[in-house]
Amino acid sequence: MIYVNVDTDVKIAVEDLNPDGKKTILMVHGWPLSQKIFEYQKNVLPDLGYRVITMDLRGFGKSDTPAFGYSYSDMATDIYMVIKCLGIRNFTLAGFSMGGAIAIRYMSLYHGYGVSKLILIGAAAPSFIRRPGYPYGMTREQVNELINSAYIDRPHMAEEFGKMHFAKPQSQSLKDWFKYISFSASGIGTIQTGRALRDEDLRNELSSICVPTGIFHGKKDAICPLEFANVMREMIPNSKLFAFEDSGHAVFYEALEEFNETLILYTSD
C-alpha cells in the first residue's frame, strides 16, 4: 500500500500490483465500499500480465477523511493526482457504481488524460436518481432516507444496502464480507458522497467521452437498473453494452467468471 498526497491534508491509499505489467487497469470502487471489493479481479489479472491499480476514495477504506470535498469533481481530481503520481498512461479506467460516475466526471474534467479505454461497471450514471426526462433509479426521497440512516445507524444501513447488490442467494460469509467492507467507510465519507450521488447529473457529459467504452451491467441490478446502461449506450460514442443475464449490481462477483473473461477480452483488443 502506498499513499498519494492529493491535497495538503488528504492522502489517498493506493495498491499497485505488478508495476511491471504490460497492461494497466485502474479500478475505482463504489458506495460505500473500498478497493477490497476487487479482490476477485486482483487474484487473476496480475498473472495475465496486468498492472492492477486500486484506490480507496477519500473517506473510505484506508484513505484520509476530510470534512469536505466529496463532489464528483473533487474525487475525479484525486484520481488525476494518483495517475500523475504513478506516471501511468495508456491505461484502462474502470469504475464500479459511484466509481463509474466519478470515472465519467474524470473523462469530462480531464479530457480522459491517460485513458485508452473506459469500463463502467454497474455505473450510477448518468443520474442515480429520477429527474425530469429521466424516470429511472431511486427517488430523491429514497436517497435522503439512506443518508438519514447513515446519521442514525450507519452499520444497519450499510448491511441492508449491501443485500441489494445481489440477485442470487450468496453465502452468509460473502454477505458479511461486503458488510465489513462497508463498515470500513467513514460516516462523513458515506454521508457526503451519498449527497453527491443524489445531486450530480452527468447526462451532458456522456457525449464528451472520447475512448472506447465497455458498459458492464447486470440485467437484474436493483440499485442501478439496466435502463442506466441503455441510456449510456445510446449517449456515449463508441460504447458497447455487456449485459450479464443473471447478475445484480455486484456483477464483478455475481457473474465472476463471465465478468473476468469479458474484461480480459475487452482490454486485450
**143 SS3 class:** helix
The whole-number average pLDDT for the span 182-198 is 97
Average pLDDT, the chain: 97
**5 SS3 class:** strand
> Per-residue pLDDT for 195 more than 90?
yes
The whole-number average pLDDT for the span 239-262 is 97
The length of the chain in residues reads 269
CA 152 → CA 149, 182, 197, 240, distances in Å? Answer: 5, 16, 19, 41
- Tell me the catalytic residues: 97, 221, 249
Which one-letter amino acid corresponds to residue 215? I
Q: Say how far apart CA 176 and CA 32 lie, in whole Å.
A: 14
> Looking at the DSSP assignment, which residues form a beta bridge with residue 216?
121, 242
Q: For position 84, what pLDDT does the model report?
A: 97
> Per-residue pLDDT for 8 more than 90?
no
Task: Show the domain range for 254.
Answer: 2-268
Q: How does strand 213-218 pair with strand 91-96?
A: unpaired
The whole-number average pLDDT for the span 175-183 is 93
The whole-number average pLDDT for the span 14-31 is 97
Instruction: Please state the domain count of the chain.
Output: 1
What does the block give as the cell for 117?
A: 479505454
The domain that holds 107 is classified in CATH as 3.40.50.1820
> Per-residue pLDDT for 141 more than 90?
yes
**Model confidence band, residue 181 (pLDDT cutoffs 50, 70, 90):** very high
Tell me if 55 sits within 8 A of 96, measured CB to CB: no
What does the block give as the cell for 73?
A: 469533481
> Looking at the DSSP assignment, which residues form a beta bridge with residue 218?
244
> Per-residue pLDDT for 104 more than 80?
yes
Determine phi and psi for 91, rounding to 5 degrees.
-120, 165
pTM of the full predicted structure? 0.97
The whole-number average pLDDT for the span 142-167 is 95
CB-count burial class (<10 Å; 0-12, 13-18, 19+) for 1: exposed
Q: For position 7, what pLDDT does the model report?
A: 87
Residue 225 DSSP one-character state: -
**Model confidence band, residue 269 (pLDDT cutoffs 50, 70, 90):** confident
Determine phi and psi for 261, rounding to 5 degrees.
-60, -45
